[in-house]
Amino acid sequence: MNDWNHQDDWAIETLAIRTGQVRTEFGEHSEPIFATSSFVFNSAEQAAARFSKAEPGFIYSRFSNPTVAAFETRLAAMEGAEQCVATASGMSAIMAVMQSLLQSGDEILSSYSIFGTTNVLFEKYLRKFGIQTNFVSQTDVAAWREAITPKTRLLFLETPSNPLAEIADIRAIAEIAHEAGAILVVDNCFCTPALQRPLALGADIVIHSATKFLDGQGRCIGGAVVGPSRYLEEVYGYLRTVGPTMSPFNAWVFLKGLETLSLRMQAHSTSAQRLAEWLEQQPAIERVHYAGLASHPQHALASSQQDGYGGIVSFEVRGGKEQAWKLINGTKIFSITANLGDTKSTLTHPATTTHGRLTPEERQRAGIKDNLIRMAVGLENVNDLKRDLIHALEAIDG
Ligand SMILES: *Cc1c(COP(=O)(O)O)cnc(C)c1O
């Protein structure tokens, strides 16, 4: 008997297209959008059975909706996880993990190199509720071990980091977490499951800002938490109670995004690699940060835990802020915006935007120089992007 149809055997491209399909009696090929706040029961008995969980089924879209469930099933399969909970944004995904799994008196140990708003969440809003965060360098494994305290319950990191592409050793840091009875949470926004599956490397929970590459076309805000049910049921309970829910429409957009994710991530990576190698040769460029370059200090580690290096390349222009701004302003194709993970290539000046709230000392510690530019390489033709950069570089000299 040929019983080969089990999704355990499927590669990520197939999972991205064929898991989590929902189909109504009309037989539509594309998943429908269930734009409804609640669901009707056949009888009072059925209503009671749904609420008591005796009967599976949908109740109310704050915590159960078929389109959202389809997205959750698909992303869980792609990350190799038991369960996924979709959220209204990447930030609410992080908040849901912290508030459902931690309590007052617990400590987070985090990399310094995290998304700026995540830093504000830890330092301002979680601290108010008695959850303290300590920070270490992403790349210093010994520092993670030394910074563990008896109160450390959760380790948090983002790899490759934004904007300097520092790579954290997920296996080694997961081991440190587990020895201490803590869990490791990885924000997998930059690689996505197409290029990196942290759970397989020992991480306990994966966070996504679906807003970035999962959508891939800059249309919607959303997030997700992925991992084993023993944690995800807690996260789900939080979501059901607090309500930072993904809308069915956004879930539908992200479902479509997942279908092309692997192809897009390969294309982003190929173009980013070509531009990074080329930029490294330019006399006007002082330094390029991209894990796909042999010159990157953790190129080998990145190669061992990632299936590609992603679409974000940062580089330092010879000179200072003035030269960096001239280059940014000199391009015609690139959008000047803080977003990333879009089909459209973007340029950002971190020191005056995403990292502008830091003091000059904090920026220096984070390695964010005034001449640093972050480039999110989109899906335009790479030769057009290169020509655009050539013209912009001429504008600096001129
Ligand atoms: C954008 C981003 C977030 C936050 O996601 P939102 O969807 O904007 O709330 C979290 N982590 C990383 C790495 C991000 O780039």
Q: Is the pLDDT of residue 292 over 60?
A: yes
Q: Is omega for the bond preceding 360 within 30 degrees of 0, making it cis?
A: no
> Which of 187-201, 309-323, 349-363 comes out lowest in average pLDDT?
349-363
Q: Mutate which of 92, 117, 161 to test ligand 1's pocket (most atoms within 8 Å of Cβ)?
A: 117
Nearest protein Cα to ligand 1, atom 7: 90
Q: Look-up: residue for tokens 């973007």?
A: 346
Residue 187 CA to ligand 1 center (angstroms) comes to 9
The DSSP code sequence of 123-188 is: IIIIGGGT-EEEEE-TT-HHHHHHH--TTEEEEEEESS-TTT-----HHHHHHHHHHTT-EEEEE-
Domain ranges in the chain?
11-259, 261-397
Q: Which amino acid is at 148?
A: I
Angle at 274 (CA atoms; ends 269, 278), nearest 5 degrees: 145
**CATH number of this structure's domain 11-259:** 3.40.640.10
Which numbered atom of ligand 1 lies nearest the CA of 340?
Answer: 15
What's the pLDDT tens digit per position in 245-281? 999 999 999 999 999 999 999 999 999 999 999 999 9
23/15 Cα distance (integer angstroms): 17
Question: Which residues does ligand 1 sit against, CB inside 6 Å?
Answer: 89-91, 115, 118, 158, 162, 187, 189, 209, 211-212, 221, 223
pLDDT (average), residues 337-346: 93
In CATH, 261-397 is 3.90.650.10: no
Q: Which amino acid is at 372?
A: L
Q: Mutate which of 91, 92, 191, 225 to test ligand 1's pocket (most atoms within 8 Å of Cβ)?
A: 91
Q: Mutate which of 110, 209, 346 to test ligand 1's pocket (most atoms within 8 Å of Cβ)?
A: 209
Q: Work out the pLDDT band at 366, boundaries 50, 70, 90.
A: confident
Question: What was the pLDDT predicted at 353?
Answer: 93
Q: Work out the pLDDT band at 396, boundaries 50, 70, 90.
A: confident
Question: What was the pLDDT predicted at 362?
Answer: 81
What residues contact residue 11 under an 8 Å CB cut-off, 6+ apart? none
Question: What was the pLDDT predicted at 230?
Answer: 98
Which numbered atom of ligand 1 lies nearest the CA of 93?
Answer: 9
What's the pLDDT tens digit per position in 131-159? 999 999 999 999 999 999 999 999 999 99
What's the pLDDT tens digit per position in 83-96? 999 999 999 999 99
The DSSP code sequence of 320-381 is: -HHHHHHHHHH-SSSEE-S--SSSS-EEE-GGGTTTTTS-HHHHHHHT--TTEEEEE--SS-
What's the pLDDT tens digit per position in 24-67? 999 999 999 999 999 999 999 999 999 999 999 999 999 999 99
Q: Work out the pLDDT band at 5, boundaries 50, 70, 90.
A: low
Distance of alpha carbon 185 from its chain centroid, rounded? Answer: 12
Residue 209 CA to ligand 1 center (angstroms) comes to 5
163/259 Cα distance (integer angstroms): 27
